[in-house]
Structure 1
Amino acid sequence: MTPKELRQILQALVEHGVSELTLETPDYKLTVRRGGEVQVVALPQGIAAPAAPPPSLPTPAPTGVPAPGNLAPAAGAPGLEAQEAKEAKEECAGCVEVRAPIVGTFYRAPAPDAPPYVEEGDRVEKGQVLCIIEAMKLMNEIESEVSGIVKKILVKNGEPVEYGQPLFLIQPL
């Protein structure tokens, strides 16, 4: 399975709200679960495990340790942030959601002492950096998909984000 095929499967799971998928071939068994613990499945003898996953894919956590995207919020009711994001989307008819392309930690600025890339109300151009997501010690710049006005920043600085999670609402110009 190629990284592109895996990304397409993950995106389909998020889009259709599927919480678990198992794919089995003669060479491997892949089980993907959202919101649960990561399980490491041993490969059959004679099949070598890859040295490292491609940099664009998240690394699974060891057995019994929740993956970063599965950490519960420190405070508030479960699903509260999802509800707030939904309400913000309803208030901003026609806004484009910029979603997290990877699992990691959301940062609004390039360094702790630097100003944020963007603030609510700022005008942005297509391709302009909005934030970074740290994954596997790599800083991934997330760019605007459209030119417009940043209406809402949906994630707080330093919070873990999941694949496909809305980060920004941008009103296209």
Structure 2
Amino acid sequence: MNTKELKSILQALQEHEVSELTLETPDYKLTVKRGGEVQVVAAPTPVVVPTAAPAPAPTPEPLPPAVPAPTPAPKSEPPKEDTSRYVEVKAPIVGTFYRAPSPDAEPFVKEGDTVKKGQVLCIIEAMKLMNEIESEVAGVVRKILVANAEPVEYGQVLFLIEPA
């Protein structure tokens, strides 16, 4: 039985206000009670017991030689940017990352901004406490790796700063 047949049966039951229906086939038994639940029970499968000794299995024919599957061309990944010269600013706690002190305020920093050591870069809210995250170095903010109001994990990289 497919879903289309089941839907038509249910619709007919509803139109004719039938409260209960049981339908049996060799494959399944379906009982529908109005206001209740649909119950489908699989029919037991018959067990066949052989009475004579089984015939010997035919010997399989040799398979033709396997044709190797074509190997896909290696995907060329874009070259990764060398970030070794940047200082990573990592989340010191688990919480929610905010780029600005309030929803209508300007962000603390943007990519390309020059920052001083100790300057506030963002806020991480943890357990209703707002924790200011400060820059550990003076330099230029090259990448902001987290979107505003996104959850962050302990040790997650938030900013890449190129030291001055």
Q: TM-score, normalised by structure 1?
A: 0.48
Structure possessing the higher radius of gyration over alpha carbons: 2
Q: Choose the corresponding residue for 1:128, options 119, 122, 136.
A: 119
Deviating runs (4+, > 6 A) in structure 1?
none
What is the identity, as a one-letter code, of the residue corresponding to 1:153?
Answer: I
| Alignment of 1:149 onto 2:140 | yes
Query: Quick one: structure 1 residues 89 and 146, their matched pair in 2 at CA, closer, same or farther if it must change by over 3 Å?
Result: farther
For residues 131 and 79 of structure 2, the distance between their equivalents in structure 1, rounded to whole angstroms, comes to 25
User: 1:145 Cα deviation (Å)?
Assistant: 0.6
The aligned counterpart of 2:152 is 161
Whether the 8 Å CA contact 1:89–1:95 is kept in 2: the answer is no
> How many equivalent residue pairs?
87
Whether the 8 Å CA contact 1:149–1:172 is kept in 2: the answer is yes
Cα-Cα RMSD: 1.8
For residues 110 and 80 of structure 2, the distance between their equivalents in structure 1, rounded to whole angstroms, comes to 17
Q: Which one has a larger percent strand, Structure 1 or Structure 2?
A: 2
User: 1:91 Cα deviation (Å)?
Assistant: 3.0
For residues 134 and 79 of structure 2, the distance between their equivalents in structure 1, rounded to whole angstroms, comes to 20
Q: Which one has a larger percent helix, Structure 1 or Structure 2?
A: 1
1:116-145 deviation line (CA, Å, top 9, x unaligned): 000000000000000000000000000001
For residues 96 and 109 of structure 2, the distance between their equivalents in structure 1, rounded to whole angstroms, comes to 17
Whether the 8 Å CA contact 1:106–1:155 is kept in 2: the answer is yes
1:19-53 deviation line (CA, Å, top 9, x unaligned): xxxxxxxxxxxxxxxxxxxxxxxxxxxxxxxxxxx
Structure 1, unaligned stretches of length 5 or more? Answer: 1-86
Q: TM-score, normalised by structure 2?
A: 0.51
More relative contact order, 1 or 2 (CA 8 Å, 6+ apart): 1
| Alignment of 1:113 onto 2:104 | yes
